[in-house]
Amino acid sequence: MPPTKTELMLKGYGLTTAEFTYHMPDYAHVLNTYTWQEYDLAPDHPKLFKFIEFWRDTLDGALHSVRFTHRKMLSSGEWRNVTGEFTLH
C-alpha cells in the first residue's frame, strides 16, 4: 500500500507544482501548458525529473520550458500527537 500524504509530509516531502509549456505536435508554433502536481523531495526533485524524462522519451510535444514551485507543508517538528480534545459550550 502506498504511503499516505501525511506520511510523506512527515518524511520531508512537499507539494511540487510544475507548469510545462510545450509545442503542440501538429502545430509547432503553437504553445500549450500542462500543470503537474506531486509530493516530492527538495532540492533534488526526483519525481519531477523522472516525469520530465518520461515526457521527453514518450510524448510528441517538445518542451519549451518548465516552471515549478515547491512548498513544504509540514515538518516533523511541527506535528504533534493529540490524545484528547475538550469542547467548551
> Sign of the CA dihedral 25, 31, 37, 40?
positive
pLDDT tier at 26, thresholds 50, 70, 90: very high
Q: Side-chain half-sphere of 25: how many Cα atoms within 13 Å?
A: 6
Higher pLDDT, 10 or 26: 26
pLDDT in tens, 49-70: 999 999 999 999 999 999 999 8
CA separation for the pair 18, 15 (Å, rounded): 10
Would the pLDDT of 46 be above 70?
Answer: yes
- Worst-scoring range by mean pLDDT, 3-12, 66-75, 78-87? 78-87
User: At 74, is the secondary structure helix, strand, or coil?
Assistant: coil
